[in-house]
Structure 1
């Protein structure tokens, strides 16, 4: 699974009627590719997948695959809390030409670790696509343990995990317990550099919508041994990372995208958007834009 250093969990643009805006989606995809995104995740949490119908998810995936046109991998979010439905969605994504799938930990059901293992293994055995596991206990209510990820890494096409537990010790255990081909990605932008330092592969990011180049520069500096500059970039990016998650995702990032000229529209209920002026987000964005070049040359 060639996700690169930064996979962007793409927002879903909506028009004033609350329907998917495919023209803006095209603009957004090209913006992301031009600004440091190595792979694109469609129909994930940031894309407001809980509010998208199956028909909308399918049409959005078709559109994304067409616009990307093989420039970068397109990963489809096909996981749910229904194993059979996830299998069907995964098979459909494969038919449509996705390069891989992302499977979130089942939410609400609260399965134990044996149930999680069986869920992911069963889905993976029903597709030839590479699988990215997605652990986000804050939303799913269940943590996918390091031991279970290590077990699942032995399934042929389970290739990586997006770890959004915030637990670096758990991430380190996964890295130590899996072979070198298995990839561990941060699901938290603020943990990108710490995860790299313990052997992680990168980040499935939200902030990369507006700071992709800067995040790529941080990662590149780390890998080339310029750890001092990587740390400096991390510190500059931290206020932006915090701002992007200051309200339920993707509320802040949609606001910030509109501020930089990408009219991605509002969020769908039960999320609520931000007024036209938010001093905290505006100030954070402006400070980031003004200080980045000044502090890093």
Structure 2
């Protein structure tokens, strides 16, 4: 049986230079930052990576580079699943699978790109199951772009019972459905990892295995502390969880550029260039740099609090 992939899983950014080309030096530094800050696994070539704006060749190289730099220290899963036609999907996913990654993540809305319903979804699911490498662990991501397509119970069970799926990024954002899926996945390698910061701490307390949200680009170590030690320090955990929820709201202020501004401040990457966001985020969102200041200061504050506890 394949091993589940769970815990704190950053949805990786793609650094670009000012001309819009992938900054491989910055990406290597970013990978090292994720690992140094407590990540249990990495999710490469995802929406935060701006995968819809990358060529097939770039998606393949991103996955290959991430696997190479990580070098087995933690698992790497990758998607890059963006095509509409099923033949193109098979081609792009097969290419991603052959990059040295530990898991290949399917995007739920790609199996029903025209919103035709469960029958089309199942036909495309069966096609992918038949044509993707049998020895490659799979995942599912309910990516909200171009539309959020949640798995039904029957679709979820088909994944769990196949024995081929190791992780699901749950984007239901509903505690009841999340924990229902966690219960359905018991006895299988299919780990259901929450993507919503607002319910991250309650979900961990209820037994959901980890967190796979955009805020892991700010402070994955704080989520790792909540996961590993929060139950032993409930007062600090509740206080920190409030800070983390409010911090994650910054996604509305030009993400992923705001995360790139933070990493530019940290010295991880040089440019804040994005293919997704074409407008000037500082012009649209007034005092954006002050928001980033507070993100950095608040993160430092809670890191200091953790140090005083010795964990």
What is the TM-score when the length of structure 1 is the normalising length?
0.89
CA shift, 1:193, in A, is 1.5
CA contact (8 A) 1:10 1:46 kept: yes
Partner of 1:112: 117
Rate the CA distance shift 1:121–1:39 in 2: closer, same or farther, 3 A.
farther
Partner of 2:264: 258
Partner of 1:100: 103
Rate the CA distance shift 1:116–1:272 in 2: closer, same or farther, 3 A.
farther
Question: Once the two structures are superposed, what CA deviation does each residue of 1:225-261 show, in whole Å capped at 9, x if it has no partner?
Answer: 4444332321232221112x12353232122222222
Unaligned runs of 5+ in 1: none
* Count of aligned pairs between the two proteins: 295
Rate the CA distance shift 1:159–1:88 in 2: closer, same or farther, 3 A.
same
Which residue of 160, 179, 186 corresponds with 2:194?
A: 186
Aligned mates of 2:187, 2:202 — CA distance in 1: 18
CA contact (8 A) 2:10 2:42 kept: yes
Aligned mates of 1:101, 1:285 — CA distance in 2: 32
1:285 aligns with 2:295: yes
Question: Once the two structures are superposed, what CA deviation does each residue of 1:44-63 show, in whole Å capped at 9, x if it has no partner?
Answer: 00000010001111122222
CA contact (8 A) 2:254 2:277 kept: no
Rate the CA distance shift 1:286–1:142 in 2: closer, same or farther, 3 A.
closer
Partner of 2:48: 46
Aligned mates of 2:143, 2:78 — CA distance in 1: 17
**Structure 1 segments (4+ residues) deviating >4 Å:** 293-296
CA shift, 1:143, in A, is 2.6
Aligned mates of 1:273, 1:204 — CA distance in 2: 27
